[in-house]
Structure formats: C-alpha cells, structure tokens
Amino acid sequence: MAEVSLWADLIKALRIPDQPSHVVRLPLDRSGYDPATVCKRNRCLVAAIDTYAAVLADRTNPATARVTALKYLIHLVGDLHQPLHASADTGARAVVLHGTVTTLHDVWDDAIVDSRGKDRQALVDVVEAASMRPETGSTPADWALEGRDIARDTIFEDPRLETRRRDVLPWLPKTYLDDNWPIARDRLKEGGYRLAALLDRILANGGAAD
C-alpha cells in the first residue's frame, strides 16, 4: 500500500481525463459540508472517496477497475487528512522555508513530515506511539470538516504568516515545522486508521458495502 500511495499524484502528469479532485474547498467559517455548494457535479475529494469505495465494493466490476479504485482510496484518504486539502484557501501562497521559496501547501504536504527524517519505519513507530486514539466511525465529510477547522483555527491564525509589506514573503523558521508536527502526526494516524476501517467495511461480507 505504501508503494502505491503516490500513484494518484503521479498519473496526473498524464493528463488522463476524468481524474478525481484531490481537494474539497470548504469555506473557512463554521458551516457544515454542503455538497450542493462545495461538491458541484459530484466533483470534490469527499465525493471521490465515496465513488471509489463503491467501485471497490462491487465484486462485479473488473479487477482492474477495483485495483484502480483501491489505489485512489489509499491516496485520497491521506489527502483528506492534510488540512489544506479541505480548505477554500488551499495554501497556494508563497512562503520562504530554509531560505527557499515554496508554498504553504507544500510545507503541509511534505516539509513537516520530511523534517522527521526519511526512515519510513521510524516514522511509522512515532506516529503509532502517539497517545491520541483515532475515531473511525465517522465519514469522509466529517474528516474534511476536521481539516477545515484546523486550517481556519491554527494554520491561518499563525502570526508567522503575516508580513508588514506585500512584496516581502513570510519566512518560516524551523520551529514552524516542529510546532506543527503534532498536528501532522495525529492526522497521519487518523488517516491510517480510518483508511483501514473503511477498507474493512468495504470488503466485509464478501465485498458488499455497508
């Protein structure tokens, strides 16, 4: 599963039509998930997870279609637990980290986790050792709202993103990565446990979805 977790990003370069959205742009307020406004034509990250879950659950579908659905689910459930994949503001703004211009989105996609080191098993052990207990009975819409709230209340409220001049980019210190690692760690753990629970439900009883 780890080896195919980036597959959904890699094939975007092929420009294959009808690829799913990897984001759901929830307003940065306290509204709920309203598919009529944030998932028009059934195109958003939440709907994509529901769609591929149904494809995987249906054993009458060709094996190739079900494998593709599984690959998408592995990636998209992870994406949904990165807060800026669930925010109307996806963090495309430029920032400076370690003297290099990047985006806030890439900081949350990669830099915070990469700052923990490249050893996969060591990272797994640290995430698994986190004291929080993931709640697995919720829905993808619930996971999206959790991420939106983190973006609204924590990421965008951080004064280190502010600058006095519009022509000067925010410089994020290394402490930014350390300070936000607990959030990323907990979202990784939640995403992993929820993906496992989702696949258990999909594949239970001979593959029928509940």
Residues 37-95 pLDDT 10s = 999 999 999 999 999 999 999 999 999 999 999 999 999 999 999 999 999 999 999 99
CATH of 7-207 among 1.20.810.10, 1.10.575.10, 3.40.50.720, 3.90.320.10: 1.10.575.10
pTM for this entry: 0.93
Listed by start position, the domains of the chain span 7-207
* Residues 111, 97 contacting (CB under 8 angstroms): yes
Where are any strands of DSSP class E within 23-157? 94-97, 100-103
- Helix-, strand-, coil-residue percentages of the chain, each rounded to 5: 60, 5, 35
The overall average pLDDT reported for the chain is: 94
Average pLDDT over residues 105-112: 98
